[in-house]
Amino acid sequence: MVTMTTTDTRRTLDSDPDAENSDFTIFDVDELQNLGINASDIQKLRAAGIYAISTVLSTTRRNLLKVKGLSEVKVDKIKEAAGKIINAGFISATEQAHNRKRVQAITTGSKQLDGILGGGVKSMSITEVFGEYRCGKTQMAHTLCVTAQLPKDMGGAEGKVVYIDTEGTFRPERLRDIADRFAVDPDQVCDNITYARALNSEHQMELIEKLGNTFADGSYRLLIVDSIMAQFRVDYSGRGELNERQQKLNQMLGRLNRLAEEYNVAVFMTNQVQSDPGASALFAAADGRKPVGGHVLAHASATRILLRKGRGEERVAKLQDSPDMPEREAAYCIGEGGIQDSV
């Protein structure tokens, strides 16, 4: 809920999950107790990072059996009870169309860029931007930190933000300039952002595993990982470790996708590029650079955007992959107030 202040023209940003997301219900695992599941077993689920009924359904029986204290009989009962709360079977296309109406779009700060994305960065899916340095990846992440909190009539989602920083490039002071552009209270903007510095790829995964508890109250609308591959490139080197790296990455991306869908959150990831003169035109930029992470990352990202430098201070975003929008380009620039349209 957004209200006007009486002392100046800036808006205050107060998260009201019931008002902003009334058609999206998060069923807590405590609901299982009404169907005969012991409170002690529910606590074991919470200890394993499972806080919602939808997470119970998306977790395999094999992984539930890894939870200390859960037997095959208990797992079967938990799965059966969860299935009575949420229908995980077939539904009509009409029902799915209704579900898709819950998707929210967060403005990037550029109307031209929003246009090729169908309104902005979408919830319930992963959006990945990649490109070389000085293309605006981190600047876009900072802009989204502010715009995600804006009222819906300004292109926002009226929600809080989680920011996982893997390269030490998060700057709260940068948010103040962006907040001033949108006439919102910079202190309140910072208060609505939950920040963590990922120390390595294992720590990055641990942080993501804990987010179910953070998102459970329904007040969060955006999760930023800047950047997704930085720690993996450090922790895994050479072809001998490539297979293990991709397996770990796949698990992390699977978790991010589930968080996006289960809590109606937009996941925004930045990614690095590497030189590959022999890369196909589908995944490589014109200069032969391609995003790090291979096919595992390519398949996980619902929306994939290549950022490159244009003329002068102009930047160009090319939508390379999207389930609902055609391949197009848009120009933008980086100003004091973050990502904005080119002049």
Domains and CATH numbers, the chain: 29-85 (1.10.150.20), 100-341 (3.40.50.300)
**Tell me, what's the pLDDT at 244?**
95
Q: Tell me the CA distances in angstroms from 341 to 17, 109, 243, 267, 311, one per residue in order.
A: 31, 8, 41, 23, 14
227 prior amide bond cis, ω within 30: yes
**Tell me, what's the pLDDT at 20?**
44
CA distance 234 to 200: 8
Q: What is the pLDDT along the chain (343 residues), one digit of tens a residue?
A: 333 333 355 666 765 554 444 467 899 999 999 999 999 999 999 999 999 999 999 999 999 999 999 999 999 999 999 999 999 999 999 999 999 999 999 999 999 999 999 999 999 999 999 999 889 999 999 999 999 999 999 999 999 999 999 999 999 999 999 999 999 999 999 999 999 999 999 999 999 999 999 999 999 999 999 999 999 999 998 889 999 999 999 999 999 999 999 999 999 999 999 876 555 555 555 556 789 999 999 999 999 999 999 998 899 999 999 999 999 999 999 999 999 998 7
DSSP string, 57-90: HHS-HHHHTTSTT--HHHHHHHHHHHHHHS--S-
Query: 86 — phi, psi (to 5°)?
Result: -125, 130
Task: Report which of 237, 245, 256 is spatially closest to residue 293, judged by C-alpha positions.
Answer: 245
| E-assigned strand segments in 99-228 | 105-106, 121-122, 126-130, 160-165, 193-197, 220-226
**Tell me, what's the pLDDT at 287?**
55
**Tell me, what's the pLDDT at 276?**
66
Number of Cβ within 10 Å of residue 250's Cβ equals 15
CA distance 61 to 260: 21
Task: Look up tokens 């009409």; give the residue.
Answer: 94
User: What's the predicted TM-score (pTM) here?
Assistant: 0.90
